[in-house]
Amino acid sequence: MATELILKDEPTAKPLTEWKSIAVELLGTQTRFVRGERWRHRIIEAGFDQPDAEPLILIHGMGGHAETFARNMHNLAAHGFHVIAIDALFHGYTDKEPWNPDTELDLQAEALADLVRALGYEKAHIEGESLGASILFEFGLRYPELCGKIILNTAIGRVRLNKTDFAIREGEGEDFKRISQLSVTEPSFETMQPRMQWLVADPSSMTDEMVDVRLRLYSDPAIHTAMKRVYRLDGGEYGPQFQPRHDESTLARFEHETLVFWTDLNPGYGPDYAEYVAGKLPNAKFYIMRDAAHWPQWEKPEEHDQVLIEFIKGA
């Protein structure tokens, strides 16, 4: 039976309308490029001037970028973390080569290890959201010595489970494929906004500014080419066929202290999926955020942060 994480300190959430622009929220952070042994990585970091801060790496989802975590940087840093939001391999301004769709996750896990080592850390706590969670699962299997505590946010690895009768919430059908394809092949505010609003339970919570940030990125020729690869559009029709690469027995080998972080309105598998997976992991808890969809760190940033703080600190 999986154990549910119950918050000891309920966060006080301000209205989303009171959050400032991404640029204002990121004041006091620094954006820089880190040269690893193999790749150049773009990161946004806070808490880098705290000598005893614990490293906490944040990985976005498919097609994303480091600004995904703009609302979380300072709060997490204030609780003793060196917070490092990244552009994953093939994304944003991080390196794009070598691309191989058959070994994409392996390369992304290698790139994450490359970054941890380049930052000079023996290990790091890491949260992966959506695709970031799949990257993190591969990383945890391949580089256990580099792992602190693990947070799998709205996804796990590409694992074929024995149980299949989970509750499913609509959201990943043909309309999702259509808006995803258009956001990549014909980037404009009008095509990007629906794809970004898909990420949140309340479409009004996705700001025009965040849409503009992603549009600016996708308008860069190198990033545009990379996104067509990531979305499997370089050969024609949209089709990211993410086939399972592990069976359920693999979960028993994932021995890290892990939190399966889910939402009740996540498009795709529902909360029962998260509880089931947490129960199959040897050292895991689960947490269900209410009234949020696929971007809990943006939709309810204070609650998201408190979950990470209590899970990692063991409060």
Domains in the chain, CATH or no CATH each: 3-169+243-313 (3.40.50.1820)
Regions of the chain short of the pLDDT cut 50? none
**CA 28, 301, 208, 221 torsion-angle sign:** positive
Q: Where are the beta strands (DSSP E) in the chain?
A: 3-4, 30-35, 40-46, 54-59, 81-86, 124-129, 147-153, 159-160, 168-169, 246-247, 258-263, 268-269, 284-289
- List the structure tokens of 135: 């990257």
Q: What is the pLDDT of residues 228-272, one digit of tens each?
A: 999 999 765 555 556 788 999 999 999 999 999 999 999 999 999
Summarised one tens digit per residue, pLDDT across range 216-240 is 999 999 999 999 999 999 765 555 5
pLDDT, one tens digit per residue, over 28-41 is: 999 999 999 999 99
Q: Is the pTM of this model over 0.85?
A: yes
How buried is 120 (Cβ within 10 angstroms: 0-12 exposed, 13-18 middle, 19+ buried)? exposed
Task: Please give the pLDDT value at position 1.
Answer: 74
pLDDT at residue number 239: 57
pLDDT computed for residue 238 by the predictor? 55
Cα dihedral sign, 224-118-111-267: negative
